[in-house]
Chain A
Amino acid sequence: DAGITQSPRYKITETGRQVTLMCHQTWSHSYMFWYRQDLGHGLRLIYYSAAADITDKGEVPDGYVVSRSKTENFPLTLESATRSQTSVYFCASSVQGARNTEAFFGQGTRLTVV
């Protein structure tokens, strides 16, 4: 199906483990984003990517790694998960970097670190 999909939808992992959240979009949008949503903080930008092989830090990048070898995929890796990374993670994409374009969001991944 066309759109933006995240996997898994739910994940429980242990402290110290590496975990990767997947994001795939079928629109060939150049821009992709990762946000985390926490109560009282709204959505905060972790990383974003303007195109394949171009990534940049957002507001809260520490503890996360991203890559973008292909336009349609933008995985987010927690190298050594901590309890503070328990959150709902949203991936989004946008057709271009202009401000007059909206971002389209995935359904989210609820990650629990125990």
Chain B
Amino acid sequence: AQSVTQPDIHITVSEGASLELRCNYSYGATPYLFWYVQSPGQGLQLLLKYFSGDTLVQGIKGFEAEFKRSQSSFNLRKPSVHWSDAAEYFCAVATSGGSNYKLTFGKGTLLTVNP
């Protein structure tokens, strides 16, 4: 069965510092991968997605993620963090299409940004 692991429960960075959030997946077929962000009291918003092609994908708010098949990873990065990036981040993998389509999420990484 598919699974997603986010090894870091909580990360604290200073404003302006670079950021990398880790995500490892387990899935037998070609993975379709997503990063979502959740601000306090809000729903989830899609940051970016990977389906095929270029392994470095760009998303909204200056985020990017790199797919590494050999490492089963899809890490999220941002070169310079802003205070407004403080939120919880979820990595997800989509399973097969058809009637069995669903998203499986990691447990999330909470990002705190220090001024």
Contacts and interface: CB of A to CB of B under 8 A. Distances in A.
A102 B46 contact: yes
B99 A99 contact: no
A25 interface: no
A105 B99 CA distance: 20
B90 A42 contact: yes
B51 interface: yes
Given A92-B103, A98-B97, A100-B32, 12 more contacts: A33-B102, A33-B103, A40-B107, A42-B90, A50-B98, A50-B99, A98-B101, A99-B32, A102-B34, A102-B49, A103-B103, A107-B42
Pairs of residues from A and B, 4 with the lowest C-beta to C-beta distance, nearest first: A42-B107, A97-B101, A99-B32, A105-B43
A23 to B, nearest CB: 12
Interface in A96-114: 97-100, 102-108
Interface of A: 31, 33, 35, 40-45, 48, 50, 54, 56, 58, 90, 92, 94, 97-100, 102-108
Interface residues of B, number: 28
Contacts of B6: 42
Most buried by B among A43, A90, A92, A99: A99
A96 to B, nearest CB: 8
Contacts of A45: 102-104
Nearest to B104: A45
